[in-house]
Amino acid sequence: MVKDEKLQLKAEIDRRSGFCFGVVKAVEKAEALLDKGERVYSVGQIVHNDEEVKRLRGKGLITIRHEEIHNLQGKNILFRAHGEPPETYKRVKRHNNVLMDATCPIVLKLQRDVRKAWQEGREIFIFGKPGHPEVKGLVGQTDGQARVFQNMGELQDMNIPYSLTLFSQTTMNPDTYQQAAEYLKSHGARVDIRDTICRQVSGREEELRDFSRHHDRIVFVAGRHSSNGRMLYEICRHHNSRCHFVSTAREVQRAWFTPAEHVGISGATSTPQWLLEAVAQKIEAF
Whichever domain contains 44, its CATH number is 3.40.50.11270
User: Is there a contact between 125 and 167 (Cβ–Cβ < 8 Å)?
Assistant: yes
Residue 104: is its pLDDT beyond 80? Answer: yes
Structure-model confidence comparison of residues 281 and 1, the more confident one:
281
pLDDT at 3: 59
Residue 1, in any domain of the structure: no
- Quick one: 27 and 77 in the same domain? yes
Please state the rounded mean pLDDT for residues 115-121: 97
d(CA 151, CA 164): 18
pLDDT at 205: 79
Q: Is the dihedral of CA 162, 167, 169, 172 positive or negative?
A: positive
**pLDDT > 70: percent of the chain:** 98
- Quick one: 162 and 232 in the same domain? no
pTM over 0.85? The answer is yes
DSSP class of residue 268 equals -
Please state the rounded mean pLDDT for residues 174-180: 94
pLDDT at 2: 53
d(CA 218, CA 262): 9
Directed axis angle between helix 21-34 and helix 105-119, to 10°? 110
Residue 211: is its pLDDT beyond 70? Answer: yes
- Quick one: 111 and 190 in the same domain? yes
Q: 261 falls in which pLDDT band (50, 70, 90)? A: very high
**Number of domain units in the chain:** 3
pLDDT at 125: 98
pLDDT at 35: 96
- Quick one: 115 and 85 in the same domain? no
pLDDT digits (tens, 9 = 90+) for 25-71: 999 999 999 999 999 999 999 998 999 999 999 999 999 999 999 99
- Quick one: 84 and 120 in the same domain? no
Q: What is the secondary structure of 151-176 as a DSSP string?
A: SHHHHHTSPPPSEEEEEE-TTS-HHH
Residue 1: is its pLDDT beyond 70? Answer: no
- Quick one: 30 and 45 in the same domain? yes
134 is an active site residue? yes
pLDDT at 5: 87
Residue 219, in any domain of the structure: yes
- Quick one: 97 and 134 in the same domain? no
Residue 68, in any domain of the structure: yes
- Look at residues 88, 103, 118 and tell me which one is the last residue of a structural domain: 103
- Quick one: 168 and 215 in the same domain? no
Residue 48, in any domain of the structure: yes
pLDDT at 173: 85
- Quick one: 147 and 93 in the same domain? no
Residue 63, in any domain of the structure: yes
- Quick one: 98 and 110 in the same domain? no
Catalytic residue among 12, 134, 205, 234: 134
Q: What is the CATH number of the domain that holds 272?
A: 3.40.1010.20
- Quick one: 157 and 226 in the same domain? no
Closest by Cα among 169, 190, 167, 178 to 116: 167
Residue 2, in any domain of the structure: no
- Quick one: 191 and 221 in the same domain? no
pLDDT at 98: 95
pLDDT digits (tens, 9 = 90+) for 124-155: 999 999 999 999 999 999 999 999 999 999 99
Domain ranges, residue 97: 21-103
pLDDT at 180: 97
Residue 5, in any domain of the structure: no
